[in-house]
Structure 1
Amino acid sequence: MTRQRLDAALVARGLARSRGAATELIRAGAVLVDGLLAHRPAQLVDADTRLELTHRPAGWVGRAAHKLLVAFEVFGAVDPAPWTVAGRHCLDVGACTGGFTQVMLERGAARVVALDVGHDQLAPTLRADPRVEEVSGVSIRGVEATALGGPF
């Protein structure tokens, strides 16, 4: 019987958006494996293992969204002009699951380039959004803005 990591199994079964999100659910104590609380994302599970969530995550795809929302609230209150992303072309460096990307889209960004050195981390909902260009496996070091469709 084929076994796979718990974090990957959660994604494969549609219980988590990404392995990173699955890890967050496990660490938050929200995952049960055959009725027992899971503790390790690397735990191996069989295809017939029962996986359950004790609660569903909030609507944001990553914790980064909460950080950016606070920045918009605090700094935007001081001077809103630089914090207006509506209609703009934006860059999310270190996108991971796409928390910053999601917030910028929610605030009206015309396009967001989501860049990360990792692979397959961007939430599927963002990957499917035509306003998002995913650039995986690339470090920002030495990258010219024009190579990413900039300026931003």
Structure 2
Amino acid sequence: MLWLMRLDVYLSDSGLCSSRTDAKSFIVGGAVTVNGRVVTKPSLSVEDGDSVKVNTDFKRFVSRGGIKLDAALLEFGVSVEGKRCIDVGASSGGFTDCLLQHGAREVIAVD
């Protein structure tokens, strides 16, 4: 019997990710492939027989802000290694988390 399921639900229900929120982070971050193609849309429908894989080496952040900053740091070749940084408007801490994972010596977070 053929079934269709949202990708984020499938990842959570199958145990590949611990929650739908976790699954969305992996998907949006480009760490999930379906039939060999990178997928970035959590609502994509997958069906029985699709090959779904998660890159478990994916560097996860506490929020989508971290994913966005990570992409910008890589795109523009900015290194924060050993630097003191400030995160103005820290909110959930995505930028702070990303900066620390990229080797910042210290991050002052102001919400």
TM-score computed with the length of structure 1 as normaliser: 0.38
- 1:41 and 1:74 mapped to 2: Cα distance? 31
- 1:29 and 1:74 mapped to 2: Cα distance? 26
Q: How do residues 2-151 of structure 1 correspond to structure 2 at under 5 angstroms?
A: 2-57=3-58, 63=62, 67=93
Percent identity over the alignment is: 28
TM-score computed with the length of structure 2 as normaliser: 0.51
Q: How much is the aligned-residue C-alpha RMSD, in angstroms?
A: 2.5
CA distance 1:56–1:14, change in 2 (3 Å):
farther
List, as ranges, runs of 4+ consecutive aligned residues in structure 1 with deviation greater than 2 Å. 54-58
Which segments of 5 or more consecutive residues in structure 2 lack a partner in the other structure?
64-91, 97-105
Q: Compare relative contact order (CA 8 Å, sep 6+) and give the higher one, 1 or 2.
A: 2
Which segments of 5 or more consecutive residues in structure 1 lack a partner in the other structure?
76-152
Deviation at 1:13, TM superposition (A): 1.7
Kept after mapping to 1: 8 A contact 2:29/2:40: no
Deviation at 1:57, TM superposition (A): 4.8
Corresponding residue pairs, total = 68
Give the number of the structure whose alpha-carbon radius of gyration is greater. Answer: 1
Equivalent AA in structure 2 for residue 41 of structure 1: P
